[in-house]
């Protein structure tokens, strides 16, 4: 009998485009790595790892503002493979920690490999307007809400798995509009 890992890996490979499958089947560095019991495609409400966000990415610290002493710790993400919603028109959605930027850039590559005509879309990263409740990793630039540029809700389960592959410390398929991701400091 095949192990759960093998079954999950095979299910994920079935979801990949043919060209990506050929690479994944021949290049061991490209083979999707799934933890035992981790879903190949997430369902709404699933998260990885299966623990609280604070347990996986660390407890939220004080919110950053443009006048904070730690403001300089945030970087701009100008990757052309990523579409930013930027409804505030302040580039706040492009502001994040270097670790989150690195993971989002890797995710953008995986998205384009999976769906060549689609880009990663960030609807929220650093949130200076405090729209995420009393405490949130968005206030430190350590969290992002992501979807695809075509806003197809049917892609979100696979997108969540790509977030895991991109090295996000916590991935939560929050609802049918987006996937929430976060990283450690």
User: How many independent structural domains does the chain possess?
Assistant: 2
Residue 87: band (very low, low, confident or very high) from pLDDT cuts 50, 70, 90: confident
pLDDT tens-digit series, residues 136-172: 999 999 999 999 999 999 999 999 999 999 999 999 9
Same domain, 88 and 14: no
Reported pTM: 0.78
Domain that holds residue 47: 43-182
Distances (CA, A) of 123 to 23, 62, 82, 93: 31, 22, 10, 7
Of 63, 48, 76, 73, nearest to 169 (Cα)?
48
CATH number of residue 135's parent domain:
3.30.1380.10
Verify that 125 and 152 share a domain, yes or no: yes
Domain identity same for 20 and 108? no
Cα–Cα distance between 153 and 168 in angstroms, integer?
Answer: 20
């Amino acid at each position: 009998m095949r192990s759960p890992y093998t079954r999950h890996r095979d299910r994920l490979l079935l979801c990949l485009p043919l060209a990506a499958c050929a690479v994944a089947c021949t290049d061991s560095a490209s083979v999707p790595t799934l933890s035992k019991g981790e879903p190949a495609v997430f369902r709404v409400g699933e998260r990885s790892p299966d623990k609280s966000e604070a347990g996986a990415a660390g407890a939220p610290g004080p919110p950053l503002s443009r006048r904070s002493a730690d403001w300089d710790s945030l970087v701009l993400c100008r990757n052309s493979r990523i579409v930013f919603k930027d409804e505030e028109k302040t580039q706040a959605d492009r502001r994040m920690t270097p670790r989150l930027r690195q993971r989002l850039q890797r995710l953008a590559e995986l998205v384009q490999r999976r769906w060549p005509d689609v880009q990663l879309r960030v609807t929220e990263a650093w949130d200076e307007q405090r729209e995420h409740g009393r405490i949130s990793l968005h206030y430190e630039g350590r969290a992002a809400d992501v979807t695809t540029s075509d806003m197809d809700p049917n892609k979100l389960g696979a997108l969540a798995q790509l977030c895991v592959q991109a090295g996000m410390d916590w991935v939560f398929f929050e609802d049918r509009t987006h996937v929430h991701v976060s990283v450690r400091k």
